[in-house]
Every structure is written in C-alpha cells, then in structure tokens.
C-alpha cells in the first residue's frame, strides 16, 4: 500500500502548489498510527514525538512539513485524509487553525467530496481523534461541508 499512498500523495500535492515543495511523505510508524490515522507536522515535531528522524517515502525539496498516513479502505478515503492534512498545513501557514478553514481549503482545492466521504464513513468512528474531527460536532461539520459543496 505504500506505493498506492505515494501515488495519491503525489497527485494531491500538485493541487497545493503554495506548499508542495515543503511537504514530505513520511513512513507510517506504529507509534503514530496508534493515536491517529494521519499526522501533518513539521519534521522536527515528528522527531520529538518519535525520538529519531523519521524515514521518508518521498522527500520534498524544503523538508519543512511531513505527512504520515496509512492507506485506508479505498483511494477515495485515503485521498480525503491526505487532502485534509495538506489543507491543515496550508491553514497553518496562513495562521488559521479552525476546522472550517481547513474544510474550505479542501473544497477550494477540489477535495471536498472526498473529505465528506471520510467524515461520513462508518469506519471514521473507529479511527476518530480530536485533531481530525476537531471539537466541533461531527454532524454540524458534515452539514456545513454539504452546504459548501452545494454552492
């Protein structure tokens, strides 16, 4: 699945032109995936969590941020998760931290449907963690995302 994840990562990064040269794909580590289905952090933050410099599946030119994600269920779900992480990094670069901004960026970049699929998927309940779903009520977030996609 590593090749499949890399392929999706490379396709998605092309839509995030403003940060694509700064984002690497990091090998998924058990220490990380136990707590979350995906991580988007600065490389040095990964080092602090893991206690060592992580291995790269794809090393970006600037190596500022990293995304660690495990292939999930199908291409649509994995695409939605990776796009969410790219959107989170984009929002962080813009000084934004709220889920609504991250969702807006996903929609603007053309990944709103995939994000909605992730949020509505029954498997999300088993994989949920606060940084992905945020503190907002999940149903409210899904409704807002549907409204954004209808416009």
Q: What percent of the chain has pLDDT over 90?
A: 67
pLDDT exceeds 60 at position 120: yes
Q: Give the pLDDT score at 126.
A: 46
Q: What is the dihedral of CA 95, 18, 121, 98, to 10 degrees?
A: 10
> What are the structure tokens assigned to 149, written together?
């996609």
Residue 39's H or E segment, with its range, is: strand 38-42
- Residues 131-140: what's their mean pLDDT? 61
Domain ranges of the chain: 2-150
The whole-model pTM stands at 0.88
pLDDT tens, 41-100? 999 999 999 999 999 999 999 999 999 998 988 999 999 999 999 999 999 999 998 889
**C-alpha dist (Å) from residue 13 to 10, 59, 90, 99:** 5, 12, 11, 20
CB-based contacts of 49, cutoff 8 Å, min separation 6: 31, 32, 41
């Amino acid at each position: 699945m590593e090749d499949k994840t890399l392929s999706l990562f490379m396709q998605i990064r092309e839509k995030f032109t403003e940060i694509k040269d700064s984002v690497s794909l990091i090998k998924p580590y058990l220490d990380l995936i136990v707590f979350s289905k995906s991580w988007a952090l600065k490389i040095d933050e990964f080092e602090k969590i893991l206690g060592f410099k992580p291995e790269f599946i794809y090393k970006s030119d600037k190596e500022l941020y990293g995304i660690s994600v495990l292939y999930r269920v199908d291409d649509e779900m994995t695409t939605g998760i990776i796009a969410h992480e790219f959107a989170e990094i984009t929002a962080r670069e813009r000084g934004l931290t709220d889920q609504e901004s991250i969702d807006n960026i996903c929609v603007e970049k053309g990944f709103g449907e995939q994000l909605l699929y992730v949020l509505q998927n029954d498997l999300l309940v088993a994989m949920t963690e606060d940084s992905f779903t945020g503190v907002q009520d999940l149903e409210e977030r899904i409704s807002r995302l549907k409204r954004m996609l209808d416009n």
